[in-house]
Structure 1
Amino acid sequence: MMQLRLARNAMANLLAAAIPALVMLVTVPLVVRGLGEAGYGVYSLVTAIVGYFAVIDINVTAGSVKYIAQHKANDDDDQVAETVSFGLASYGAIGLVGGSGIFVCAGWLVDTVFAVPEALRTDARAALQLAAPGFLFGQMQAYLNSVPQALMRYDMSGRVEIVFGVLVPLATVGVLLLGGGLADVIALRVVASMVHGLILWRTIGRLLPTLRLRWPGAHARAALLRFSGWSFLSRFATLSYAHADKLIIGALAGVTALAYFTVAATLANRVLSLGFRLSGVFFPATSALAATGQLRRLDQTYVKATRYVVFVNAAILALLAVFAYPILAWWMNADFARHGALILAVMALSQFVDSLTSLPSLVNDGMGHPRVSGLFAVTRALVGMVLLYAGIGGWGIVGAAWAHLAGALMFTGAFLVYVHGRTVPTPLGRLLLHGYLPGLAGVGLVSIAAGAAARLLGGSPLDIVLSMGAMMLLLILHGALFVVAPDDRDLAWSRWRTWRRQAGR
């Protein structure tokens, strides 16, 4: 029953990311065309700066998700109310502080720190100042979105996420077609974030009809802050590192180079982050299982989830890496393909390596050990930023991609070796044999065959489409035959027959 519930929540969480990601991929070329390459580079810079200010978030969300799931598993509604109240107050304060900082620093950042062309500086300053209240709304929205997820109702948070994830990119294109500019796009997103938060608050009211805001006692505050303090290290490091490449490129290489890098890196990130959405449901589930002592079930579910998530991510990586140039050429244009094909392939591989830490990190934190993931994340970010600065300084945006991959390989291996058998109750050998090997072996063979076939067939659009189609078919067959567990195949087949019988009546 737990595995079925996890699967449903994972699918809801996946769709909440996949559908907006698809819309984003369709609309990015239109946004780039509407803003111009330099203008899109400034837009990327603005979003990176706003994202960087989120490092002041002490990550009460992590502690809140853990303790809401734990208290709900123990039917303690008062503790749930105290946790939600503390989270709302914390993120309101964080949003006000960060938004004020963005507004005050806008001119200095645009005029002094980054290589923004003179003609775009006025728009960039206005966009940053407009984004300041958006930071407050974004922080509140992020916290409110986590509450249904802590209650294992990803279906409800996912529906809201899909609606806004589809409407906002489409509305952005509409604004640009009507003659709007960068400031208008930012204003649209600020308003959308505010409305998104209000709808989430009403959703929480339906899930927790007896919720009454109440300030938590000293013990509850201490527990939340202790857990969140260590999780903050992980969030701080992740956010710092996630935006460091764009900020360093913006300072050293200019906004046009930033546009080329951002498009390729965003494609790799958005597509491969779908695998993280499959695994994200594991944090509240681990917290609930650990609270009730069901460690054997946790081990079994963790290995099976790893088997599926690793295969999905590896399949996506293979498609992006083998067909990087035609994907960028079709999606954007030949110029972006020339500058970004290698970046897309290397960044996809880097994202895949990083993704191997997602599930073990969630289990580690759900078991109550955020200190471990926090310290690893900080070390990884510090070393990674040194690598990024050296890579960008020496080889430009291609150097940034290779620096990401080097950091991912170093720290993913170290993290996996350390946590398994210590803070994650599963031996690493068991995970490698039953979680990694079934998917990776087949994906590797299919990738080699597809790469060779693409070269032999030629580079016409029809040849590429046939190669991609054959590769996808082989990956699906391998997944169905060698990755999906026999009990899950039997369950799926049983449900399919039941549905056919009911449909035939």
Structure 2
Amino acid sequence: MSQLKKGAILSYVTIVLTNIVGLVLTPFIIEKLGDAEYGLYTLIGAFVGYISVLDFGLNNTIVRFVAKYRAEKDKRAEENFLGTTMLIYGIISLVVLFFGVLLYFNLDSIFSSSLTNTELEKAKVMFVILIFNLAITLPGGAFAAICSGYEHFVFPRAVNIGRYIFRSLMVVGLLMYGGDAVGLVILDTIMNILVISLNSFYVFKKLKVKFKFFQTELVLVKEIFSYSIWIFVFAVVQMFQWRSGQVILGVVTDTTTVAIYAIGIMLGTYYGAFASAINSVVLPKATKMVVNSETGESITNMMVKIGKPILLVLGLVLINFSLFGKKFIYLWVGDTYKEAWFIAVMIMLLMTVPLTQGFGNSILEADNKIRGKALLNLITMALGVLVGYFLAKDIGMNGMLYGILLGLFVNMIITNIYYVHFFNFKVIYFFKKLYAKFVFILLISLILGLMLNYVFKDITWMYFFVKVTLLSITYVYIVYLVFLNVEERKNVKKRLFK
């Protein structure tokens, strides 16, 4: 099995593990920390997250350029490029520390109306630790990017899996013995240092990569930033889109509201993670199609091919959570967080189409036409956050949600127009091939799910798992009969009964 396939499988293992660990640990963390401190923990994490976008998209740039130099067998250019990027990372870390110091001395004024004095003091401690964490994590992430550029996906993903398992055990032990939010931040910092150390060892010893700064090439620096700046804009959009609501609500409401909103956002973004396992490894394929000047029809067919497994996984999650999610949240973290269900469902619904079209972004990235899409994302995100800010003042977290959803919807519409313009995307064909039968599957699953809710009315974990199991089995069977074509059904039989 190739590194690509193994990497994709390990990505799914990581996603499933991350989601399970998150779902299991979150109620435990909330119970041990309390609603207010958990809200503070997520608030400061979101606040510091804004500074993390100072990566400027260099990780993606490293993957692209390392792969390019390897294809050209230009070792000297690769070494000089890596030496240049590490120099840039060193400057970025200093900038992060500078902004960290600047913000630290303004935390009192920023959160004076929403945090108590005790919460503010604890927030300052967490902020300092997280800034240090960020200053080392940004350049440290380059080693995982180098592995991807060398198409060695297995080791860094295996390390991540080990980190999730070990961190989970440490979190339980830490909180059982009286640890608090500050302790969790320290633990995460230690884990990041460990992961960076392992990845760097692999890069230097296994891949024999060298960082050499032969000469200052302003042309190279310009080329790096002309590509990475738009990846940076994408990162800014993602960061603000999901974290802005927590910070805004932290300013205009209270930490408990932030905690409820954070749970909804967490569940919604878990949904997106199921698509990332495939979307994160298709850039080489997109690059080949661009180099070979493939037609819009060929690209659309590839988008359908890649989008199909993504849609099937997302559909299974969406239908189960839509029908049984309220009861799950009640059993999971309690009635206080019941409003998180609506937040998560709405995010899942609006993210489904963009997630199945992720290969389109890879095409734009490979063809260096990502600028327009990045600007579109930035504008629609700003629109959503601005509308959400004003609505949040009157109707709280739902107002923030409506603003974000508006931005997502406008972005989805214009993105499809953008794809049509740049690579002749066959938009009607895409939706017909991918969604026509899928809507029928969802309707059948919805009817069955409503029946299961009527039969199993008690709110218990046993009834919850019974309903999820019965609906999931039915969903998979209907997908096999209705959604898969003859060739795909043959492949399924071959894999199951070989």
Flag whether TM exceeds 0.5 (same fold): yes
Pair 1:281–1:483, CA change in 2 (3 A)? farther
Aligned to 1:14: 12
Note the alpha carbon deviations across 1:31-78, whole angstroms, 9 max, x for none.
112211110111001110111112333212222222223333343333
Pair 1:358–1:394, CA change in 2 (3 A)? farther
Pair 1:70–1:483, CA change in 2 (3 A)? farther
Contact 2:304 2:434 survives alignment (8 Å): yes
Give the deviation of 1:497 after TM superposition. Answer: 4.7
Aligned to 1:381: 381
Give the deviation of 1:99 after TM superposition. Answer: 3.0
Corresponding letter in the other structure for 2:35:
E
Note the alpha carbon deviations across 1:230-255, whole angstroms, 9 max, x for none.
22222222222221101101001111
Note the alpha carbon deviations across 1:244-269, whole angstroms, 9 max, x for none.
10110100111111011111221221
Q: 1:362-381 maps to which residues of 2 (within 5 A)?
A: 362-381=362-381
Aligned to 2:314: 313
1:49 matched to 2:56: no
Moved more, 311-320 or 125-134: 311-320
Secondary structure in structure 2 of the residue aligned to 1:95: helix
Moved more, 321-330 or 401-410: 401-410
Aligned to 2:470: 470
Aligned to 1:171: 170
Give the deviation of 1:396 after TM superposition. Answer: 1.0
Moved more, 372-381 or 176-185: 176-185
Looking at structure 2, the residues matched to 10 and 294 of structure 1 have their Cα atoms a distance apart, in angstroms, of: 24
Q: 1:379-418 maps to which residues of 2 (within 5 A)?
A: 379-418=379-418
Aligned to 2:125: 126
Contact 2:381 2:404 survives alignment (8 Å): no
Corresponding letter in the other structure for 1:243:
R
Pair 1:464–1:26, CA change in 2 (3 A)? closer
Contact 1:14 1:274 survives alignment (8 Å): yes
Contact 1:10 1:279 survives alignment (8 Å): no
Looking at structure 1, the residues matched to 293 and 321 of structure 2 have their Cα atoms a distance apart, in angstroms, of: 41
Aligned to 2:275: 275
Aligned to 1:501: none
Pair 1:133–1:289, CA change in 2 (3 A)? same
Corresponding letter in the other structure for 1:439:
F
Pair 1:20–1:248, CA change in 2 (3 A)? same
Give the deviation of 1:439 after TM superposition. Answer: 3.4
Looking at structure 1, the residues matched to 232 and 484 of structure 2 have their Cα atoms a distance apart, in angstroms, of: 36
Looking at structure 1, the residues matched to 381 and 74 of structure 2 have their Cα atoms a distance apart, in angstroms, of: 38
Pair 1:42–1:385, CA change in 2 (3 A)? same
Sequence identity of aligned pairs in percent? 15
Give the deviation of 1:348 after TM superposition. Answer: 2.7
Question: Which segments of 5 or more consecutive residues in structure 1 lack a partner in the other structure?
Answer: 499-505
Note the alpha carbon deviations across 1:272-319, whole angstroms, 9 max, x for none.
322222211112432344346566875543320111112222221222
When normalised by structure 1's length, the TM-score is: 0.89
Q: 1:225-240 maps to which residues of 2 (within 5 A)?
A: 225-240=225-240
Q: 1:55-204 maps to which residues of 2 (within 5 A)?
A: 55-113=53-111, 115-204=114-203
Pair 1:91–1:21, CA change in 2 (3 A)? farther
Looking at structure 2, the residues matched to 356 and 313 of structure 1 have their Cα atoms a distance apart, in angstroms, of: 9
Corresponding letter in the other structure for 1:106:
Y
Give the deviation of 1:92 after TM superposition. Answer: 2.9
Give the deviation of 1:206 after TM superposition. Answer: 4.8
Q: 1:307-346 maps to which residues of 2 (within 5 A)?
A: 307-337=308-338, 339-346=339-346
Question: Which segments of 5 or more consecutive residues in structure 2 lack a partner in the other structure?
Answer: none
Q: 1:261-272 maps to which residues of 2 (within 5 A)?
A: 261-272=261-272
Looking at structure 2, the residues matched to 210 and 343 of structure 1 have their Cα atoms a distance apart, in angstroms, of: 45
Aligned to 1:503: none
Contact 1:416 1:428 survives alignment (8 Å): yes
Give the deviation of 1:5 after TM superposition. Answer: 6.6
